[in-house]
Structure 1
Amino acid sequence: MVKLTVLSVLLALGATASAQCGANNPPVQVTGSSGNYRATQNGNQIYSGGDYRLAIQTALDRASSGQRVAVFASGSIGANTILVGSGKILEVCGTLNVGNRSGRGAIESTDTQNAEIRYLTMTGNPYFGLRFFGTRGLRLGELNLNLSGGMGIRFERDKAANSDVKMGIIRVTGAGSHAVETWNINGLEIDQVIARNVGECGLLLQKVTNARVNLVDGDNVAAGNGYATLRFANENGKLNGGYPTNVYINRVKSRGGGRGIFCVSQSGGAQIDNIDLANNGNNAILIENCYNVNIRGGTINGGGEVRLAARTEFANSRDITITAQVNNNSVRESPCADNSNFYISGNARMNVC
């Protein structure tokens, strides 16, 4: 598996190895402070006033395709939405505080090509921090979402599908729902999703094919519920009617919270190279009605049991391999899967077929 790095993602975004937010005097800028914001393009003023959102939106709307828009100012957009159109490049170097607009994102890019959000620091309690659908060539760089509720990133379920999506480091703290929820993406690359004190999933993949993720790292994620640091659901990895391996995860780390890894509802085609799971409050791993899932190594210490299972409404789990050192825990298979393989070391209690 090819490991992604922040540098490789930034290079894919057209940035340099030493790139920083707002470096090299971007042609479109938003400056100022509360009550007094100014947007300029090539040094010419295009907005002046007290509306932070309008200053940013004016800058984006006026920017030519491929021009960088650097927001140096901090402020609040309230329960409103910033739209990032095709070919627009947004860098938020200040802190963007947001409100809650029902069903909408504080930042959205929909039905677009080659939109980019290279840097972002967001605070507040949004419905969705960022919302996407119908994108092609979307690029997300280094995003820090320090939230007090809501969801971090959402790719919509019932809208147009996405292709060729790349993300750098996505850090989400304090979301009441998922840190990153994806639907309907063919071609997804993520360097890191780092979730802290998040109510539901760290990374949730649904109907995603041809995906590569370097790291999913969750601490106190999904406490008290059935979600997980990493979850595959709703036919994730189903490709051309089958489940050839096409979802590659380099490493999953999970501490506390709810489940560590959860595969469910006819998902599969997944390879996870390394796991580091400890003290999960629910299953360390639950694989239920999934097909061709291969966990290739790593450690599990304590927490809820490792379970291979199936519900009767879907075809039985099949072609499952788990290789790990498991201590102070148990491994259970019920009902028996088709072609299950366990290579377990450590002091785990075993109850498998």
Structure 2
Amino acid sequence: MMGHFSIVAAGLALVSVVHGQCGSGTPDATVDGAEGAYTATKGSEQVYSGSNYYQAIQSALDSIESGQRVAVLASGSIGTSSVSISSGKIFEGCGTIDVGNRAAHGAIESLGTTDVQIPYLSMTGNPYFGLWFYGVTNLALGEINMNLSGGLGIRFERDEASNSNVSMDTITVTGAGSHAVETWNIDGLTIGSVIARDVGECGLLLQTTTNAQVGLVDGDNVAAGNGYTPNVFVDKVVSRGGGRGVFCVSQSGGAVIGEVDLADNGNNAILIENCYGVEISSGTVEGGGEVRISARTEFDNTRDISITLTVNSNSVLESPCGENISWAISGDATQNIC
């Protein structure tokens, strides 16, 4: 589970997460108001009243118990503060939460928790991490919308406790300076869709992540593994412009992509380098950078790769020759393969 498998581009419905509309029914606590005048209420009890949007949100969260729900109906700015969600709580960000940059922290974070749900979230701003997690079990993210001016969208931390049973419904990230979604150390991941627009690095980057199922990765102007037995399954990857479309590197692998739809990528449309057990079952590549299998000398050679594609206005290169490489290329691309 070394290296990483990246889908540099931006499904499976998670019905346990999404219930009706944001704030519907009777939340256990709510945050209301507007800039300069916010109130947090739990039932009939007011737990905060004042000008601090962050304090209103955190007070509402702190007032509820495991299994209860907070709906943030008001919009505002939390500045460089970090909202913390503890185990068993359900957080709905119905208003637009504007955030600042707190180094090495998330604008919203849940650390070492179980059974946290974020069914809805609308975020703007330039965070260090928009959402930050580690040591979580049974985390469910629903409809997450981030219209950012920098930062990284969703991050599962590398050098902290591992995670299990994580689900995401539809993650939409625009304007991140780094990745839209980056995972580390997850066993059991289900993603419906990642939609990335104008992000600086990957739409979806999976690292030391096993038993993963991804419905759709859809990227426009994005930059630009795991296991040898296939355990990362992606239904479809769509990428336009940006950098690489699909990139597998540095002793990663174990991935099956059902279909790709790649066009005009600025770097390699597909680069598979020192990876093992990767299958791209179908799809098209139109123009853009070369489709290539390669290898660096510091790792074992690329092996056990199967690629079936229609490639037009482009080229296909295998250099150096891999081991047990299966190509089925149609279209007008030039081919220099072993």
Question: In which range does the TM-score fall when normalised by the shorter chain?
Answer: over 0.9
CA distance in 2, matches of 1:42, 1:99: 30
Offset from partner CA, 1:132-171 (integer Å, 9 cap, x none)? 1000001111011000011111111100010000001110
Aligned to 2:159: 158
Indicate which of 246, 260, 266 corresponds to 2:245.
260
1:76 to partner: Cα distance = 0.3
Taking the TM superposition and a 5 Å limit, the aligned residue runs for 1:195-344 are: 195-222=196-223, 227=224, 236-238=225-227, 243-344=228-329
CA distance in 1, matches of 2:44, 2:174: 36
Aligned to 2:121: 120
CA distance in 2, matches of 1:264, 1:196: 23
CA distance in 2, matches of 1:102, 1:65: 29
CA distance in 1, matches of 2:88, 2:248: 35
Structure 2 SS opposite 1:47: strand
Structure 2 SS opposite 1:259: coil
1:43 to partner: Cα distance = 2.4
1:185 to partner: Cα distance = 0.4
Structure 1 SS opposite 2:59: helix
CA distance in 2, matches of 1:47, 1:176: 34
Aligned to 1:185: 186
What amino acid is aligned across from residue 193 of structure 1 in structure 2? V
* Contact 1:114-1:136 within 8 A present in 2 as well: yes
Instruction: Work out which structure has the larger RCO, using CA pairs closer than 8 Å and 6 or more positions apart in sequence.
Output: 2
Aligned to 1:77: 78
CA distance in 1, matches of 2:326, 2:65: 55
- Name the % identity: 62
* Contact 1:22-1:91 within 8 A present in 2 as well: yes
CA distance in 2, matches of 1:172, 1:145: 5
CA distance in 1, matches of 2:41, 2:135: 30
* Contact 1:168-1:190 within 8 A present in 2 as well: yes
Structure 1 SS opposite 2:136: coil
Structure 1 SS opposite 2:62: helix
Structure 2 SS opposite 1:272: strand
Structure 1 SS opposite 2:58: helix
Aligned to 1:104: 105
Aligned to 2:8: none
CA distance in 1, matches of 2:66, 2:159: 28
1:42 to partner: Cα distance = 1.4
Aligned to 2:7: none
Determine if the alignment matches structure 1 residue 349 to structure 2 residue 334. yes
Determine if the alignment matches structure 1 residue 12 to structure 2 residue 13. no
Aligned to 1:230: none
* Contact 1:27-1:43 within 8 A present in 2 as well: no
Structure 2 SS opposite 1:57: helix
CA distance in 2, matches of 1:159, 1:296: 35
Consecutive unaligned residues in structure 1, runs of 5 or more: 228-235
What amino acid is aligned across from residue 190 of structure 2 in structure 1? E
Consecutive unaligned residues in structure 2, runs of 5 or more: 1-10
Taking the TM superposition and a 5 Å limit, the aligned residue runs for 1:57-96 are: 57-96=58-97
Structure 1 SS opposite 2:95: coil
What amino acid is aligned across from residue 315 of structure 2 in structure 1? S
1:47 to partner: Cα distance = 1.0
Aligned to 1:175: 176
Structure 2 SS opposite 1:12: coil
- CA-atom RMSD in angstroms: 0.8
TM-score by length of 1: 0.92
